[in-house]
């Protein structure tokens, strides 16, 4: 049983805001920081209970109106999930925060939530990007070293390993400026990238918008702004023509690349999450083809590579990946769905168009790779197959397998471009995006729209999908779907067609159907 007085005492310090209904949604509780304390406190409790099937419970405790009702819910949950309080394995909860002024108070709320559960310890890991904190939890759960220094060392060592494995004949850039300029969204990622950069001394990286001194987090900067508006972030412009640029988001879990065409004002060539996914897929597929030679196939080992996208992936990317012979799967929006699906493969690559994504390697495939690389190194040393096995192992250490991480993503993109000898333009030419348009519609009740088939089909209200189909049929290469957002009080409309004008009209006409 939960210790009553401890919990009632601490929860009375975090009074629930009036008139707000909190929901975990696509990815986390989102509200103005000033009303989030009681939620973060309760999420602290939840983390301490280390629950597995926790999402409905998260909503319930975030909204529990009084300390007594909160205690009752927690006790029911502890009983249902049979959470032991035997003190044998104390729960350790890692906490981190970003650079925003609200961070300190919210971290304190979470700490009090954690410590209101007897036997749970909170460890403050300091100022971190979101993916660094996830990386630390994963490392700790595997019994590995999990400090920030360990994170930087693992990323930089595996990056250097991949650099050393670049085929010599390819190790030349096609005449482009080799510099990378990164927009840090005025968040925590810019400073962390600079630390990483110092450890690498191979890459020429300049970071702009790297702290709140330069501007407000995600305001006119950052991956979300760049991807949705398709314009250069603050501090970037025509002076950057012919330079490879990238944009992180405020907490550094999203990454997009872009280039500024010469004489452009703010317009950019966007290289989005779908194209990052495609680059990773091409590279991994190449390594697997070196490995899956006769003898490996005879040994019955063929790695299963799975690609996971959402309905927001540009249709041209899906066609491109399928034409490579890859298996493409779709899930609803939100990394919680993509990640779960990717874990079903030997290698699962998932990305949302907006730049959230990563690569997962199964334990059994990593074990096989380790054995195989040892066997290969004792045979003909330096064979393509051996290098391919070593490259895949290095990728598994470089990429953050806990969650999409813009810092490890940048390093992997950079080393693959060097490996291929590709400029950003060559990369962007893998396929041409279909023109698309995303709109938001404010409605009285967004939950009235219910979807199925990875959000591609509306099942409620009746008749809406048929009306959408009638609109789509009017367009060449038309595709359109609607779904309620899980983070904002809107219904999103997404449309694609063969021209920008057609994508715009399709989106607008479907938005009218939703309204
Ligand atoms: P919602 O609001 O549910 O569409 C948005 C993004 C997701 C994800 C989450 C969390 C789109 C269309 N949706 O979710 O991909 O990034 O925010 O950050 O970009």
Give pLDDT tens digits for 92-147: 899 999 888 899 999 999 999 999 888 888 999 999 999 999 999 999 989 999 99
Atom of ligand 1 nearest to the CA of 27: 10
Ligand 1 centroid–CA 356 distance in Å is 9
Per-residue model confidence (pLDDT) at position 52: 42
- Residue 104 is inside which H or E element, if any? helix 103-115
Question: Given a cut of 80, is residue 48 above it in pLDDT?
Answer: no
Higher local confidence (pLDDT), 333 or 35: 333
Q: Is the pLDDT of residue 49 over 80?
A: no
Instruction: For 16-31, give the DSSP string.
Output: PPTT-----TTTS---
- Ligand 1 pocket by C-beta < 6 Å: which residues? 26-27, 312, 333, 352, 354, 356, 485-488, 492
Q: Is 208 helix (H, G, I), strand (E, B) or coil?
A: strand
CB 185 within 8 A of CB 223: yes
Q: Which of these CATH numbers, 3.30.390.10, 3.30.70.580, 3.60.15.10, 3.40.120.10, describes 4-127?
A: 3.40.120.10
Spell out the domain ranges in the chain.
4-127, 164-271, 274-428, 436-514
Q: State the Cα–Cα distance between residues 137 and 139, nearest whole angstrom.
A: 5
Question: Would you state the structure tokens that stand for residue 509, as one six-digit string?
Answer: 């006409």
Measured by CA distance, the residue closest to atom 19 of ligand 1 is 354
Integer Cα distance of 302 and 281 in angstroms: 16
Q: How far is the CA of 334 from the centre of ligand 1 (A)?
A: 6
Q: CA 197 to CA 180: how far, in whole Å?
A: 11
Q: What's the pTM?
A: 0.91
| pLDDT at residue 370 is higher than 60 | yes
Structure confidence at residue 514 (pLDDT): 95
Q: Ligand 1: which residue has its CA nearest to atom 8? A: 334
Q: What percent of the chain has pLDDT over 90?
A: 71
Taking CA atoms, 460 is separated from 57, 64, 77, 203, 444, in Å, by 26, 30, 32, 51, 15
Residue 175 confidence (pLDDT): 45
Confidence class of residue 417 from pLDDT cuts 50, 70 and 90? very high
261-281 mean pLDDT: 92
Of 40-54, 99-113, 438-452, least confident by mean pLDDT is 40-54
Centre a 10 Å sphere on the Cβ of residue 388 and count the other Cβ atoms it contains: 24
CATH, range 274-428: 3.40.120
How confident is the model over 18-32, as a mean pLDDT? 83
Q: For residues 342-371, give the mean pLDDT.
A: 96
Is pLDDT above 60 for 51? no
Give the pLDDT of residue 23: 83
For 306, the token pair is 């799975």
Predicted local confidence at residue 296, as pLDDT: 56
CATH topology of domain 164-271: Alpha-D-Glucose-1,6-Bisphosphate; Chain A, domain 3 (3.40.120)
384, two tokens: 């393509």
What is the CA(407)–ligand 1 centre distance, in A? 20
Nearest-atom index, ligand 1, CA of 483: 4
Burial (CB count within 10 angstroms: exposed 0-12, middle 13-18, buried 19+), residue 133: buried
Q: Which atom of ligand 1 is nearest to the CA of 486?
A: 3
Determine if residue 486 is labeled as part of a ligand binding site.
yes
User: Ligand 1 centroid vs 277 CA: distance in angstroms?
Assistant: 17
Give the residue, out of 24, 25, 26, with the most ligand 1 atoms within 8 A of its beta carbon, to mutate for a pocket test: 26
Whether 468 has a pLDDT exceeding 60, the answer reads yes
3-class DSSP state for residue 106?
Answer: helix
Per the prediction, the chain carries an average pLDDT of: 91
What phi and psi, each to the nearest 5 degrees, are found at residue 180?
-120, 130
User: Rounded to whole angstroms, how far apart are CA atoms 244 and 227?
Assistant: 16
Q: Which of 354, 446, 449 for mutating ligand 1's site (highest number of atoms within 8 Å of CB)?
A: 354
Would you say how long the chain is, in residues? 515
Whether residue 492 is annotated as binding a ligand: the answer is yes
- Which tens digit of pLDDT belongs to each residue from 272-326? 999 999 999 999 999 999 987 655 555 556 789 999 999 999 999 999 999 999 9
Tell me how crowded residue 358 is: count the other CB atoms within 10 A of its CB.
27
Report which ligand 1 atom has the smallest distance to the Cα of 487. Answer: 2
26 CA: nearest ligand 1 atom: 3
At residue 50, the pLDDT reads: 60
Tell me what ipTM this predicted complex has.
0.98
The whole-angstrom separation of Cα 374 and Cα 376 is 5
Is the Cβ–Cβ distance between 263 and 427 less than 8 Å? no
Nearest Cα residue to 229 out of 273, 268, 261, 180: 268
251 is in an annotated binding site: yes
* Ligand 1 atom closest to Cα of residue 492: 4
Count CB-CB contacts under 10 A for residue 339: 21
pLDDT band at 2 (very low <50, low <70, confident <90, very high): low
pLDDT of residue 294: 56
Mutation test of ligand 1: which of 248, 333, 406, 451 has the most ligand atoms closer than 8 Å to its C-beta? Answer: 333
Confidence of residue 429 (pLDDT cuts 50, 70, 90): very high
How close is the Cα of 80 to the center of ligand 1, in Å? 31
Of the listed ranges 193-197, 208-212, 442-446, the least confidently predicted one is 208-212
The CATH class that applies to domain 436-514 reads alpha beta
Band of pLDDT at residue 444, cut at 50, 70 and 90: very high
56 has pLDDT over 80:
no
Q: Fold match between 4-127 and 436-514? A: no
Q: What is the mean pLDDT of residues 256-268?
A: 88
Answer whether residue 212 shows pLDDT above 80. Answer: no
């Amino acid at each position: 049983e939960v210790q009553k007085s401890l919990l009632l005492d601490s929860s009375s310090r975090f009074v629930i805001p009036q008139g707000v209904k909190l929901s975990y949604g696509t990815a986390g509780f989102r509200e103005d920081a000033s009303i989030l304390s009681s939620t973060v406190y309760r999420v602290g409790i939840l983390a301490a209970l280390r629950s597995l099937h926790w999402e409905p419970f998260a909503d319930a405790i975030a909204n529990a109106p009084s300390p007594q009702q909160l205690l009752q819910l927690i006790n029911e949950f502890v009983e249902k999930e049979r959470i032991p309080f035997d003190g044998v394995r104390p729960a350790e909860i890692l906490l981190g925060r970003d650079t925003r002024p609200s961070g300190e108070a919210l971290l304190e709320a979470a700490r009090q939530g954690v410590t209101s559960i007897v036997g749970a310890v909170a460890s403050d890991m300091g100022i971190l990007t979101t993916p660094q904190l996830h990386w630390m939890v994963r490392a700790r759960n595997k019994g590995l070293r999990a400090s920030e220094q360990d994170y930087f060392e693992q990323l930089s060592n595996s990056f250097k390993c991949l650099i050393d494995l670049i085929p010599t004949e390819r190790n030349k850039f096609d005449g482009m400026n080799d510099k990378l300029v990164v927009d840090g969204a005025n968040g925590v990622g810019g400073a962390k990238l600079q630390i990483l950069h110092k450890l690498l001394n191979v890459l020429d990286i300049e970071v702009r918008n790297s702290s709140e001194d330069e501007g407000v987090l995600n305001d006119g900067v950052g991956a979300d702004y760049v991807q949705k508006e398709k314009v250069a972030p603050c501090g970037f412009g025509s002076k950057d023509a012919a330079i490879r640029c990238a944009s992180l988001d405020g907490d550094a879990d999203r990454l997009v690349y872009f280039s500024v065409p010469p004489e452009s004002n703010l317009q950019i060539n966007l290289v989005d999450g779908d194209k990052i996914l495609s680059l990773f897929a091409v590279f991994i597929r190449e390594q697997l083809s070196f490995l899956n030679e006769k003898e490996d196939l005879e040994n019955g080992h063929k790695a299963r590579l799975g690609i996971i996208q959402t309905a927001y992936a540009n249709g041209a990317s899906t066609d491109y990946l399928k034409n490579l012979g890859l298996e493409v799967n779709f899930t609803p929006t939100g990394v919680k769905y993509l990640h779960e699906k990717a874990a079903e493969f030997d290698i699962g690559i998932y990305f949302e168009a907006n730049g959230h994504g990563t690569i997962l390697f199964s334990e059994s495939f990593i074990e096989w790779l380790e054995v195989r690389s040892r066997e290969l190194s004792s045979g003909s040393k330096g064979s393509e197959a051996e290098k391919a096995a070593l490259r895949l192992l290095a990728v598994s250490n470089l990429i953050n397998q806990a969650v999409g991480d813009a810092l490890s993503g940048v390093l992997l993109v950079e080393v693959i471009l060097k490996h291929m000898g590709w400029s950003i333009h060559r990369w962007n030419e893998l396929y041409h995006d279909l023109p698309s348009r995303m709109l938001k519609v404010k409605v009285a009740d967004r939950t009235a729209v219910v979807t199925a088939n990875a959000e591609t089909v509306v099942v409620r209200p009746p008749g809406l999908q048929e009306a959408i189909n009638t609109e789509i049929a009017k367009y060449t290469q038309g595709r359109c779907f609607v779904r309620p957002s899980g983070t904002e009080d809107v219904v999103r409309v997404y449309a694609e067609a063969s021209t920008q004008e057609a994508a715009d009209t399709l989106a607008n006409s479907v938005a009218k159907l939703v309204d």
